[in-house]
Structure formats: structure tokens, C-alpha cells
A and B are shown apart, each in its own frame.
Chain A
């Protein structure tokens, strides 16, 4: 479409609707499954770091709350 046509574009709902459906897809993403990620390499290390961090923080919280009461 030429620029001047776009500036003065009149809405043609049937035509625009078809264009719109083609561009946006209107997909129900709930029906498309998401594949589980492969956990390896640096990602595996990151998960171990996270587990250790959570464990340390939970211990600190228990100790802290025990001191409060």
C-alpha cells in the first residue's frame, strides 16, 4: 500500500478484518502446549545456586524468628 493511500485510508471492515486475522492469528494459546526446558550446562548450575540460596535463607529465617520469640 502506498504511503498516500495509508494516510487517507478508509476503513473497509471485511478487508481489514481478514488482514487482521492473518497478522494476529487470534490463537487460543491455552491449546498450544509449552515444551519443558532442557536443564543442562550453566542453567543446571543456576538451579543449584538457587536451591542453596533458598536453603540458607530459610535457615536464617528460622534462626531469626526463633530469636525474636
Chain B
């Protein structure tokens, strides 16, 4: 026993703190019964729900809102349902990879495939994360303006809140605070029941008809690709794997990690469908412009449902930006720590883990500052983030599949044949669609006007 205690003393502080949480899990696992099992599941869920809810970020909310406003409920309701298995299959692989290797995605790429691909992935991730954070701050400041808060105040407040919960909370508390914020993502769901003249029969029929208003044209392709890009993003792979590692999940926890990922995927799709239904019932038919802005959508909700509904929608937009900013800044910190061998745990005290926290906080300061610059080229920045994600996504996916098929590191947990068939089909489809998305961003009229 003394030897065990001496060994524990020699371990870094983050591992010691994680051991306390893991001991609780170990004790829970010793007990049988439905209640004990539920307690164990509740203790183990987190990374999957967080990543999926954070994926419904400010940009995602705006994309879904525009989708409903432009195309109604015809095609995109069944399309979003199909996104559930797509998101689940991709993200589930990160659970197994993290639980088996106990290392993040950035570290595995860097160490398994060399410095070039490691640096390529890290640079892409960090740039894309900073640019995506700008879109989150746009959502936060726009949403808070509805409540009369100036952008300067809302931006500073968001930076302080996000930095504080990262710096001063341990992983366990950080996760539960983040999940509590994420719960507000469901604010869009009850709003659906106040949409006037929403015909549930039409929603039901959409699954058999897959009706595309106006047929297939360039705007439709653009919206399909934007929804696809919103569902799966490179930072999600890095975030969930690092989160699984920081939480300390092991191979015994894989099943719970899979349940966590499924619950997250389900919430993500329910919220996405709710947003599409809200704008399909309030804005659809008003305009067919691709440049439909969020203020127009908020005004339509104000007029067609109620001022309270508009405020709740704005609050949802703020929450979406906030939870995504928490997740994205954490993924930047984890990736930098993993790549350079720095501390890489939210369990680290601020002074001991300053190298870990610094990249995430710098990215928050850059993004929070850029949205305050008058006449900042936000459209150009949004275009750049799409282009970087387009180039980066196939690389991140390819490394994920290579690692999941690497028997030397994954052993019995490597992908089975059926998992590979599904994963390669999804990845192949995503690569093609990402390529087309890249083309449409660079050449907007490639599929006609």
C-alpha cells in the first residue's frame, strides 16, 4: 500500500485529480441495480452530448434558420434525421480511440504519422478554430443586442465567463457547467409548438416525398452542403477525443461513451429540426435570397409568433455561441498541449497549467476583439473558415480511419468490417461533398445561379 501511495505522489497533479473522479466511477461500477447503473451512466456521459450540442453553434443555428426560411419543411427534415447516424458513426470512433489510447487526436497524428502531418493538422485546426470562434462571437453579440446589451459588453462578458470556467474549474465541474449551458440549446424545441399554422401532417409527409421546392439548383446544393458542413466539423473530432482522455474514460467505459454520443446526436438533430420548423413556419415564402440575415429571421418570429418567442430565439443564439466557444477554445488548448507535450488537462491549476490554458484564451481574445472592429471583413473571414475546413476535413477524417484500423494501437477495438463499410461510405461522401462545397465557395455560380 505504501508503494502505491508513493507512486501516486510521483504522478502529475492532473492525473492525481483525475484519479479521484475515476475512483468514484470504480466504486459505482461495483454496484448492481438499475439505479446504480443510471448513476454510472450519468457520471460517464458528457463529451458526446457536449460536442453535439456545441455543433449546433451560432453558425449552425443561422444555417438551420436559413434552411427552413428558404426551403420550408420538404427536404431538410428527413435530411436532418439522416444526419443522426452520420454524426454518430464519425464521433463514436473518437470515443474508442480516446478510451483505448488515452491520447488526443492531435497527439496521435503527430506521434504516429510524423511532424509534418501533425503540424499540418494542428495549424489547420488552430486557424479554423479561431475563425469559427469569430462566428460564435457574432452570434453572442447579435443575440445580446436583442436584450439591449452593447457588443463590447457582451463580448467581454463572454470571454470572462468562458476563461473563468476553464481556468478555475476541474474537469468534472467544467463539464457539468458546460452541460448546464448546453441544456439551453433545447430552448428552440418548445418554440415549435407556438408556430402558427404548422401542419404536422406535412412534416410526416416530408419523409415520403423529400420534396425540394423549386427543384435542384445552386442555392439548394449550397444549403445541403452548408448543413453537412455544420453537422460534421474537424474540431469535433479533436474535441471529443481529448475530452474522453481528460475525463479518463477507459475501454470499460466505451459502451457508456457510445450511449453519450448517441444521446448527443439525438439532441443535435431534434434542435436542428426544431429551428428548421420555426423558420419554415414563420419566414418561408417571404424571400428566396441566400443572404437572408438573422435580423430578418428574428423580426419575422417577432411578428408571426410573439416578442417573447423572438427573445427566446435570440437567447438560444447566444447559448449556441457560448457553448461552442467553450468547446472550441478547449479543443485548441488540448490540441496544442498534445502536440507539444505541454500539460493538457482542465484539471490543471491555472498557474501550473498556464501553457495549456493560454492558446484557448488567446483565441478567445482574438475572436472577441475582431467582432468589435467596425467594418471588419466578417464575410471574408467566414468564407476563409469554410475553405480551411474543406481542405482540412478529409485529412482529419483520413487520420481517424487510419488510427481506427491500426491494430497495433487499437487491438480488439479497431474497426470491424461493417464499421469500416459505414465509416468509409460516410467519409467518402463527406470528402466529395466537401470538395463540391469548396468549389461552390470559390466559384459560387458553378452550378448555375
- A window 20-69: CB within 8 A of B: 20-21, 23-24, 26-30, 33-37, 39, 43, 46, 50, 53-54, 57-58, 60-61, 63-65, 67
A20:B22 contact, CB within 8 angstroms: yes
A20 near B23 with CB under 8 A, answer yes
Contacts of A18 in B (CB 8 A): 1, 4
Q: Write out, one digit per residue, whether chain B residues 366-404 have a CB within 8 A of any chain A CB (1) or not (0).
A: 000000000000000000000100110011001000100
Once bound together, how far apart are the Cα atoms of A65 and B112, in whole Å? 34
Listed stretches B30-38, B208-216, B315-323, B325-333; interface member: B30-38
B312 on interface, CB distance cutoff 8 Å: no
Q: How far is the CA of A37 from the CA of B250 in the complex (A)?
A: 23
Query: Does the CB pair B15–A28 fall under 8 Å?
Result: yes
Q: Does B341 contact A (CB under 8 A)?
A: yes
- Complex Cα distance, B208 from A57, in Å, reads 37
A6→B30 contact, CB < 8 A: yes
Contact call A7/B31, Cβ cutoff below 8 A: yes
Most B CB contacts (10 A, CB to CB) among A23, A33, A43, A64 go to A64
Q: Please, how many angstroms separate the alpha-carbon atoms of A33 and B391 in the complex?
A: 30
Stretch at the interface among B5-13, B150-158, B167-175: B5-13
Q: Which residues of A contact B27 (CB under 8 A)?
A: 11, 16
A60 pairs with B439, CB closer than 8 A: yes
Contacts of A65 in B (CB 8 A): 442
Q: Inside 8 A of B84's CB, which chain A residues have their CB?
A: none
Which of A18, A23, A24, A39 has the most B CB atoms < 10 Å from its CB? A24
Q: A36-B114, A63-B442 are in contact. Are A54 and B341 (CB under 8 A)?
A: no
Task: Let me know if A54 and B391 touch, CB within 8 A.
Answer: yes
What is the minimal beta-carbon distance from A12 to any residue of chain B, in angstroms? 10
* Residues from chain A with Cβ under 8 Å of B112 in the complex: 34-37
- Inter-chain contact A16/B23, CB cutoff 8 Å: yes
Residues in chain A near residue B15, CB distance under 8 A: 26, 28
Q: Which of B107, B114, B398, B442 interacts with A64 by CB under 8 Å?
A: B442
Interface hits, B423-447 → A, CB 8 Å: 431, 435, 438-439, 441-443
> B24's closest neighbor in chain A, by CB?
A20
User: In the assembled complex, which residues on chain A have CB atoms less than 8 Å from the CB atom of B32?
Assistant: 3, 6-7
| In the complex, B19 has a CB within 8 A of chain A | yes
Known: A3-B32, A29-B102. A53 touches B394 (CB 8 A): yes
Within 8 A of A (CB), among B21-67: 22-23, 26-27, 30-33
Rounded to whole Å, the gap between the CB of A61 and the closest CB of chain B is 5
Check: B304 CB closer than 8 A to any chain A CB.
no
Q: A17-B4, A20-B26, A36-B114 are in contact. Are A29 and B395 (CB under 8 A)?
A: no
Contact at B391–A46, with CB atoms within 8 Å?
A: no
Residues of B within 8 A of A20 (CB): 19, 22-23, 26
Whole-angstrom distance between the Cβ of B230 and the nearest chain A Cβ: 20
B111 at the A interface (CB under 8 A): yes
Roughly how many angstroms separate A39 CA and B113 CA in the complex, as a whole number? 8
* Residues from chain A with Cβ under 8 Å of B113 in the complex: 36-37, 39
B408 at interface by CB-CB < 8 Å:
yes
B398 A34 Cβ-Cβ under 8 A: no
Interface string of B135-167 (1 = CB under 8 A from A): 000000000000000000000000000000000
Contact between B406 and A37, CB atoms less than 8 A apart: yes
Determine whether the beta carbon of B103 is less than 8 Å from that of A34: yes
Query: Which A-B residue pairs are the 5 nearest by beta carbons?
Result: A64-B442, A34-B111, A20-B26, A57-B391, A37-B112
A–B Cβ pairs within 8 angstroms, 28 of them: A1-B30, A6-B30, A7-B31, A9-B30, A9-B31, A24-B26, A26-B15, A27-B102, A28-B15, A30-B12, A30-B341, A34-B107, A34-B409, A35-B408, A36-B114, A39-B113, A46-B398, A50-B395, A50-B398, A57-B387, A57-B391, A60-B438, A60-B439, A61-B438, A64-B387, A64-B442, A65-B442, A67-B443
User: Which A residues are closer than 8 A to B by beta carbons?
Assistant: 1, 3, 6-7, 9, 11, 14, 16-21, 23-24, 26-30, 33-37, 39, 43, 46, 50, 53-54, 57-58, 60-61, 63-65, 67
